[in-house]
Amino acid sequence: MSTTLQNDLLLRALLREPTPRRPIWLMRQAGRYLPEYRATRARAGGFLQMCTNPEIACEITLQPVNRFPLDAAILFSDILTIPHAMNLGLDFEAGEGPKFERPVRTAADIARLPVPDPGRELKYVVDAVALVRRELNGRVPLIGFAGSPWTVATYMVEGGGSKTFGQIKRMMYEAPRDLHRLLEVLAKSTILYLNAQIAAGAQAVMIFDTWGGVLTPAQYDEFSLRYMAEVVDALTRKADGRRVPNIVFTKGGGAWVKKIAAIGCDAVGVDWTTDLAAARAQVEGRVALQGNLDPAALFAPPEVLRMETRRVLESYGAGAGHVFNLGHGITPDVDPERVALLVETVQAYPVAAA
């Protein structure tokens, strides 16, 4: 598995090493905006069928890097694979998002939860990682990922997506010990899961804390950041003779960038509501930063998209340690030609300014 990387810009930037230009990859770069993805989905059936089939997951992972000169591939999977392996009856309803047949609401529900074995219940993910790594053959690095314990817990307790997070916040206030027990099980599961991805060939890993931003600052520390710190602390740091960088991303977490940087991660993802220059000042060179173009800028006319892209590049400023990305995932109705323009604009940005 030690094929020489032809393009290691992402790994170098995440470790704050100098690079000749800014690397770029995009959250949700393999998705419904691509006609080839839609064709694969029509052939495969539902979303879950695609995630659980290593060959299909590999095919989808490679689609954006085959179409655009991106600097990384990110595994096609989902943040709910761990609770799926806990036998909670996960289903993805068309237009409705994920639903759990058996939500986790009581101490007894939590006590019944197993810690999934990545080599058994999540073997399809591990197999997909190994397959993608082989197929990439050193073109670009492969990013593995997981949801944060807090974010995954929100879906498990709510029974799906939520606008109010009423069920999990009720648990947080009424039975905080139960919630901590759930988060402990999820942290343990996430550590095993991410380390299995690294062992199978992931060259960087990312923790997606999609819903950390719905918490108060004190709640964020206690119920989200604490468990991400636990995960980061236990991650495999080296594989194939080089460092395996990790990225932590809390959507809506701009005010906590300094706290996130202090947990020992290599890079902090920043959404579009935070100025990169302000985030860079807060982290004081401790970590790399990833982000943070507003995903809606991909709807802008070409000249506006170029201008907004350069604004992000300029806001980071000179020096190492920046990975260009969106502030969240690409939406399904984006024109792939806009993505091509974005990648071209980032890669043409003058080295002197980088």
- Helix 336-348 with 302-316: angle, nearest 10 deg: 40
What is the per-residue DSSP string for 106-157?
Answer: SHHHHHT-----TTTTTHHHHHHHHHHHHHHTTSS-EEEEEE-HHHHHHHHH
Q: Is 28 a catalytic residue?
A: yes
Q: Is 155 a catalytic residue?
A: yes
- Site of tokens 């930037």: 13
Q: Is 139 a catalytic residue?
A: no
Q: Which of 21, 32, 181, 226 is catalytic?
A: 32
Distance CA 208, CA 48 (A): 19
Q: Is 32 a catalytic residue?
A: yes
Q: Which of 8, 16, 71, 78 is catalytic?
A: 78
Q: Which of 155, 220, 227, 349 is catalytic?
A: 155
DSSP at 213 = G
Q: Is 33 a catalytic residue?
A: no
Cα–Cα–Cα angle for 177, 183, 186, rounded to 5 degrees: 150
Distance CA 41, CA 225 (A): 35
Long-range CB pairs of 45-54 (<8 Å, 24+ gap) are 46/92, 47/78, 47/92, 48/84, 48/90, 48/91, 48/92, 50/76, 51/76, 51/77, 51/78, 51/81, 51/124, 52/124, 53/124, 54/124, 54/127, 54/128, 54/131
Q: Which of 41, 67, 102, 181 is catalytic?
A: 41
Q: Which of 28, 105, 133, 280 is catalytic?
A: 28
Q: Which residues are catalytic?
A: 28, 32, 41, 78, 155
